Amino acid sequence: MKIGMKPANAFANAPLERRGELRKSRNDLSALLTKPDTRFLLVAAERNVIDAASGKPILVDPEELAALSDGLTHSIMLGEYQGSALFVADLDNASDELLASTLGARTENLRTLGLRLSPEQASLAAYARAMVLWDRRHRYCGRCGGATASDEAGHVRRCINADCGNAMFPRVDPAIIVLVSDGERALLGRQASWDPNRYSTLAGFVEPGESLEEAVAREVREESAIEVEMVDYHSSQPWPFPSSLMLGFVARARTTSIQLLDGELEHADWFSRNDIASRRIHLPFPVSISYRLIEDWYDGGEPGRMRADLDHSDAQTLKHDRDQTG
């Protein structure tokens, strides 16, 4: 399903029909779980299961899944994909050795896997991982502490305590992420735990009783002391690490003097397009909405400008290195 005017960010626009109307029909679900053309994506130890040879997410049928039943917790319905039912099977902590011997498969973290997958594959892998992680983290009731059971094709976890019966639904945590600019420069920051010299746009979770625009202004102020105006929505991205929905904005800086007020950032600074083109800093991973925000600001209405400038810079660096050694 394709929605929206802008190209989708990575992990968005999963190419399936979610078929929510089927989730409450236990008879239909039981039949789908064993139907020969039903397919299962696999997640093990919070990592996506991929074919060891191709590096792509593996799809198995019910018979192939049965070979892994010792590690199977249960399956969650994702929807209808290419005319057949699609589930994700949680293999708990199935080892790479088991996956290799039974399926010729291995596991990989979605952050790195997403860099080389097609948009279709990446969005399905993200949806699968997000559902499994939510399911694993809600095995006990937040109201009474009792155990919960999976219901409605895995899209509800319900407390089994008869005096409680609390229902929990897949959680999504809204977070803003914003490219702040003073016109010629972009405000970027880094956390101490990141790779050396990697910078990104500022971000943070939306607090109760707060609008998205208020969250943008507050987070930027808390992290950098910069005051912003002209806050405009850009795009969004599901970010299953573990359950965020990143809501992207662009904003104009009203002040430019930086102070790290809340201590969340190790460093923040203003960076020009020349700073970025010269590789003065490392940018976020290209699958992230942060990269998209930086790229759109840099391009300034000329799509492809940043990528061309970076390619040119890399070519110049390679030529310099060759000249120095040759």
305-308-312-317 Cα dihedral, nearest 10 degrees: 100
Distance separating alpha carbons of residues 237 and 240, to the nearest angstrom: 9
* Straight-line distance from the first to the last Cα atom of the chain, in angstroms, rounded to the nearest whole number: 53
Angle at 41 between CA 36 and CA 44, to 5 degrees: 130
Asked if residues 17 and 2 have their Cβ atoms less than 8 Å apart, the reply is: no
Nearest alpha-carbon partner for 177 in 209, 205, 140: 205
Return the pLDDT at 125: 97
Q: At CB < 8 A and 24+ separation, what contacts does 98-103 make?
A: 98/68, 98/71, 99/42, 99/44, 99/49, 99/68, 100/52, 102/67, 102/68, 103/49, 103/51, 103/58, 103/60, 103/64, 103/67, 103/68
- Cβ neighbors of 302 (< 8 A, separation 6 or more) are none
Query: For residue 178, how many other CB atoms are within 10 A of its CB?
Result: 26
d(CA 200, CA 219): 14
> How much is the pLDDT for 72?
57
d(CA 66, CA 276): 50
Bridge partners of 176, per DSSP, are 204, 247
CATH of 20-137, one of 3.90.79, 2.40.33, 2.60.40, 1.10.1760: 3.90.79
- pTM for the complete prediction? 0.89
pLDDT for res 25? 87
Extended beta strands in 182-281, E state:
185-190, 202-205, 228-239, 244-253, 267-272
The full set of domain ranges for the chain reads 20-137, 138-170, 173-303
Cβ atoms of 153 and 183 within 8 Å: the answer is: no
**Domain spanning 173-303: CATH 3.90.79.10:** yes
Residues of the chain with pLDDT under 50: 1, 4, 71, 319-321
pLDDT score at 317: 59
- Asked whether the domain spanning 173-303 has the same topology as the one spanning 20-137, the reply is yes
Q: In what order do the strands lie in the sheet with 75-81?
A: 75-81, 84-90, 39-44, 47-51, 105-108
Half-sphere exposure of 238 (CA within 13 A, CB side): 22
- Predicted pLDDT of residue 28: 85
The pair of structure tokens assigned to 18 is 């979610």
Contact 40/89 with Cβ under 8 angstroms?
Answer: yes
